[in-house]
Amino acid sequence: MNVLPPLRIESLAHGGDGVATLPAGKKVFVPATAPGDLVEAEALEDRGSLVKARLVRLIEPSAQRVEALCPHAASCGGCQLQHLAYEAQAAAKEQAFYESLARIGGLRREAIAEARPIVASPDEFRYRIRCRLHVRDGKLGYLRRGSHDLEPIASCHLLAPALERLALAVGAALRARPLPALREVDLCVGADGRGAIALSPDPKAAPGWAEKAPRIFDGLEGLAGIVALPPPQQQAGQQTKRRRAAPPGAAPAPRIFGDPVVERPAPLAPGVRLLGRPDVFAQANDAGNEALVRAAVEALAPAAGDRVLELYCGAGNFTFALAARSAHVTAVEYEGVSLDLARRAAAGARIDRIRFVAGDAARVVEGFAAEGQRFDLALLDPPRAGARGLAEALARLGPRRIAYVSCDPATLARDLGALHAAGYQARLAVPVDMFPQTYHVEGVVLLERA
């Protein structure tokens, strides 16, 4: 065992690992540690500029260290920071957010006119209204940290009570009657507590693989609908924050059992119901999402009559808040379930200030620019891969302010550089903690014409 000399953890890296420095100056990354910890660690991999290690012994705990609430916390990959007090988690995420902007985008915090502190989540636990669980041999759970092995769950303190009840009921149903081809289950619940699940199969699943699903899950309390997805190689138009694929073509449609559409109040849009389904992206922290929408919309400050271009609108998370300010919104998203849900929600609320446009964001922006269209404001909420290649065409549309919402500080920082080159300056930045107990951090940056 290659045991290193005792290490004092100095900070947290993006990803949640504690960072210490060897006497020669090399950085050591140690999971499950907190700033201030004195630890004994074993070197696992020397990557030249850094060492990946594992915690062997906690010699002296940091004052920021706390007892993890969840019995799965030590091995489950769902959380990385339960051993850290929430105030320290938030401070580490704020630091990581601004360090990414500086390191990757060259945008130092002191160069931003209004670089705000992180917006904390109203709830440290029990905040998730949707989740993805893995299935192995009829058991339901998360993947263990650093592996593809399953950590079966008996409880999850991140899940809202209604979602946890549904997850445990689904797990019990699968133990009693396994669905062999099933590999993942996405679950979500609405404001009324009713929920829905999406079943994702193994790539080798045969056609009709999910025919038994209605019988397996029949009578589950709170389950209103099921979406059974085709095998991955046959899917098209499945929209997630990590990937937005091309719009549906000849691929088979998901099988629908019951009614898998759930409803929640649209943030900052009184009287509007935001529609969701377990197989399309939506934010998982309801109260945190309202803080995110508020940060973006208030920064953008649309006024009556403003023409707003919204890119990657999804099911309308920001759309209705923008329209509620009496702005005229052109909302762009791939044709598919997300856009269908947004259109339904707008029709149900009888909103006529929104024009939905189906298509790839980059191509739509290029088309608008070629037509000579103009917009007063723009809001982007791209997937994790960011909005590469959009800046120049977007600038030709003339928005005086752009609000960029991001779930990945690295791609955000990259795209800010392109927007700066296109004539925009970052005036305001605010990180938002949507996922307590994990390393993930969202952010909003407001840019104005230089």
- Give the residue numbers marked as catalytic: 407
- Contact present, 5 and 59 (Cβ < 8 Å): no
- Regarding beta strands 255-258 and 354-358, do their DSSP bridges make them parallel or antiparallel, or are they unpaired? unpaired
Spatial neighbors of 421 by CB under 8 A, at least 6 apart, are 391
Structure tokens at 439: 């390393």
Helix (H) and strand (E) counts in the chain: 9, 23
Between β-strands 424-432 and 442-449, what pairing exists: parallel, antiparallel or unpaired? antiparallel
Show the CA angle centred on residue 275, arms to residues 404 and 281, nearest 5°.
Answer: 50
Name the residue among 381, 353, 355 with its Cα closest to residue 293. 381
Q: Crossing angle for the helix pair 409-421 and 86-105, nearest 10 degrees?
A: 40
Cβ atoms of 340 and 347 closer than 8 Å: no
Edge-to-edge strand list for the sheet holding 11-12: 7-8, 38-46, 50-60, 27-30, 18-21, 11-12
Query: How far apart are the C-alpha atoms of 232 and 254, rounded to whole Å?
Result: 11
Distance CA 157, CA 164 (A): 8
Judge whether 341 and 280 are in contact, CB under 8 Å: yes
Backbone φ and ψ of 299, nearest 5°: -65, -45
Are 20 and 10 contacting, i.e. CB atoms less than 8 angstroms apart? yes
Residue 431, CB-side half-sphere exposure with 13 Å CA sphere: 26
